[in-house]
Amino acid sequence: MNALRSRPLVLMYHAVGERGAQEDPFCLFVPQDRLYEQLASLLARGWTPLTLDTYLHGALPPRSLLVTFDDGYQAMLDEGLPVLRELKMPATVFVLGGLLGGRSRWMPEMPDEPLLDAEGVRELAGAGLDVECHGWEHSTLLKASPEALARNTTQAARALTDLTGRRPRAFAYPYGDHDARARRAVAEAGFEIAFSTYHAEGRYATPRVAVSPTDTGATFHLKVLPAYPVMRRISGHVPKLRPALHSLIGRAPRS
């Protein structure tokens, strides 16, 4: 495998569907047709999609990827699952054990996006997706109290086990935030792996590449390059570089 990427590519999506910039100010919803185009393009170029089990324990081809979705929106069932089924694409969905059937209240700017209820989570699991843990109530684990760490790891894992009959093996940090105490709490709760965003720190902070509705075909294919994480880190040290690159490559329009 390319030395720039010692592990498979892990893509991080959030939600699937059409939302305008006012409805979705944080760029979480990727349109259904664009999700299809992105994943189909990777399959056409010879990428091998992985289940979580293969990612953790299987033989990994050189061009392999794990597709993940955070937060557990109802739109994942309504609009994401049909795309995955059509492409026969496995995926891992991280849900919030304490907000099943609730709304996205942790975001005052978009508080009313519906989340999967218990039946929806079981339906995703029944369709063959890996349903894993995103904590209890989408609160940051940075400098969290021992009680908050236990609620978002041990208690959240127990709730999903009771719901699906299978103990979750993977954890995704809300907001991508983690520190040494959070990583230790996740490990002690029995998870085999935890995912961050770009801040990597070993097995319990595995980085992912975020995909947003502003990605064009060009920016998406840039993001799947092995060198992209390095390029992103370099651009982060030069404040004007990333906006300049986006201006050069372009952004997908939003309503």
**CA count, 13 A, side-chain hemisphere, 49:** 20
d(CA 224, CA 111): 31
Give 10-residue mean pLDDT values along the chain (255 residues): 62 97 97 98 97 95 96 98 98 98 98 98 98 98 98 98 97 97 98 94 95 95 88 66 60 75
Query: Which pLDDT belongs to residue 224?
Result: 94
Rg of the chain over Cα atoms, rounded to whole angstroms, equals 17
Please give the pLDDT value at position 99.
98
pLDDT single digits (tens) 95-134:
999 999 999 999 999 999 999 999 999 999 999 999 999 9
Q: Is the residue at 15 inside a domain?
A: yes
Residue 138 sits in which domain range?
Answer: 9-249
Q: What's the rounded Cα separation, in Å, for the pair 148 and 137?
A: 10
- The answer to the question of residue 4 being in a domain is no
In the chain, the amino acid numbered 221 is H
pLDDT at 76: 98
Whether residue 42 is contained in a domain is answered as: yes
pLDDT at 140: 98
Is residue 113, in this structure, part of any structural domain at all?
yes
Total structural domains within the chain:
1
Percent of the chain having pLDDT more than 90? 84
CATH of the domain at 48: 3.20.20.370
Asked if the structure places residue 43 within a domain, the reply is: yes
Strands 64-71 and 48-49: parallel
